[in-house]
Amino acid sequence: MTLLKLAIKSTLNRKASVLLTLCTIAISVMLLLSIERVRHDAKSSFSNTISGTDLIVGARTGDIQLLLSSVFRIGHTNNAVSWKSYLDIKERKGVAWTIPISLGDSHKGHAVLGTDATYFTHYRYGKKQHLAFQHGRAFHNAQEVVLGSDVANKLHYHIGHQIVISHGMGNTSFHHHDDNPMTIVGILAPTGTPVDKTLHIPLIAVDAMHKSSHTQPMMIGKKSQQNDHAQHQHGNTHQHAEDNNSHHNEHNEHNEHNEHNEHNEHNEHDEHNEHNEHEEHNEHNEHNEHDEHDHPHGTLDSEPSDLVGSPNQITAFLMGFDSPLYTLQVRRNINMYKAEPLLAIMPGLTLRELWDMLDIVEKILLLFSIVVVLVSLLGMLTTLLATLSQRRRELAILRSVGARPIHIFALMSSEAILITFMGCVAGCILFYGLLLTANPLLQSQFGISLTIGWLSNYELTLLGVIMSAGTLMGLLPAARAYFYSLADGMSIKI
């Protein structure tokens, strides 16, 4: 107990150097624990990018390639799944739900995903968390789109804004579906997964846009191609007026079009046509401005309609089962499906395989933390050795009052252990403070949900290793002090 008191008083007597050493050890311990916690929880969050999904089914390709394209929106699959096969597998025994996915379009570099209403009901991430809406609602018809949080924040979009989807997955596209503008009706809450960087539209919208791109532009669920072609023949002015009115009453628009055709055929009422067209154009402009002003941030109401249609094919689909017993059986049947070559993967296993490929990153992080701790302990050793020559008189006085060499050795060792222990305690305090501060940011921006709880057994083992290393570092200055003689300490050097 006397040696411990002497060690504490001796440490307090050298406040400046001890405080610097203490801060160095504390920061290194904080970094080690933080890197280890982020490394562990990043692996867990990576595995939980998609949860609650038993199988992902797509055209036959590699497991990781199918996972990257369907979940992370990275790359693309060369083939697709026919709609007939999807409906057949959907009706299999034990299937609780399915989510069709259609990819291949984008908007300003962000992936566009075609799906149906089951996506917002059954898709889960993290620890089986459901998708939630930050603003608005799910889409109800083919003209509506739901944005991920990152898309809305980056592009400064709000409820009621209209956007245009582009063909292809790259940042640059040479074909835009500008004849089929989509209205934003919902913005999802941040998830920290690829969902945040995705635009979600109904399957029927994807199918209609791709079909219209091969013929003549058409509004989804609006006028026929024949009317558009006839309209184009009667002048750009009349076409512009009707385009502005495309979201209003279709029946009145068709009647007005027939009246204009009769006037143009007889060439008798040109002035009357121009007058009506001008008034109609002004009315539509005023109405459009009124709608845009009234609904920039609110919730838009619409009548629910068909969201699926009759697509020929989809990119992939997700499956959930009533019981885990059906998973392996259905997976085997899909992989041996005779109608077309298909592949069914279990996302949890494939995610772990993908993480194993990134094992080198995990090792680099661990090596970095070990180096940081060693540097801090070497700093403590340097400080103790540098102050040892200045303390030779102090040690000689202790020897003169009866302290044995073993007592001097124990005193120096105790100081090193005390500094290391205090550094570990301070590092743990900084570690938890950092967790509380950084956890919301890591969750929203990178999808890494940090666990704020007691130190794990592995982390306690790391602290034990640091304490042992600190004790070993203190043995060298203690051994040197052990061999100092009384005469050497009391002599005056000029």
Read off the pLDDT band of 477 (50, 70, 90).
confident
pTM of the complete model? 0.64
Report the mean per-residue pLDDT for the chain.
77
Residue 290: the pLDDT is 39
Q: Which residue is it, tokens 């290393």? A: 469
CB 309 within 8 A of CB 207: yes
Pairing of strands 182-188, 144-147: parallel
State the distance between the two ends of the chain, measured CA to CA, in whole angstroms: 38
With 0-12 CB in 10 A as exposed, 13-18 as middle and 19+ as buried, what is 170?
A: exposed
Task: Indicate if the pLDDT at residue 94 is higher than 90.
Answer: yes
Task: Indicate if the pLDDT at residue 240 is higher than 70.
Answer: no
Read off the pLDDT band of 174 (50, 70, 90).
low
The b-or-e profile of 38-76 (16+ CB within 10 A means b, else e) is bbbbbbbbbbbbbbbbbbbbbbbbebbbbbbbbbbbeee
Q: What is the mean pLDDT of residues 157-172?
A: 82
Helix ranges restricted to H, 50-172: 63-70, 83-90, 118-122, 149-155
Q: Between 406 and 319, where is the model more confident? A: 319
CB 477 within 8 A of CB 408: no
Q: What is the mean pLDDT of residues 434-454?
A: 80
Q: Between 236 and 346, where is the model more confident? A: 346
Of 212-216, 248-252, 462-466, the range with the lowest mean pLDDT is 248-252
Read off the pLDDT band of 291 (50, 70, 90).
very low
Q: Between 144 and 490, where is the model more confident? A: 144
Task: Indicate if the pLDDT at residue 217 is higher than 90.
Answer: no
Q: Between 316 and 447, where is the model more confident? A: 316
Gap between the Cα atoms of 102 and 489, Å rounded: 83
CB 146 within 8 A of CB 200: yes
Q: What is the mean pLDDT of residues 456-479?
A: 88
Look up residue 147 and give its two tokens.
């944005």
Gap between the Cα atoms of 279 and 375, Å rounded: 80
DSSP character for 193?
S
Residue 355: the pLDDT is 82
Q: What is the phi/psi pair of residue 264, to 5°?
A: -70, -35
The percent of the chain in helix, strand and coil, each rounded to the nearest 5, is 60, 15, 30
Look up residue 313 and give its two tokens.
């094919």
User: Averaging pLDDT over each range in 94-103, 178-187, 299-308, 433-442, which range is the top one?
Assistant: 94-103
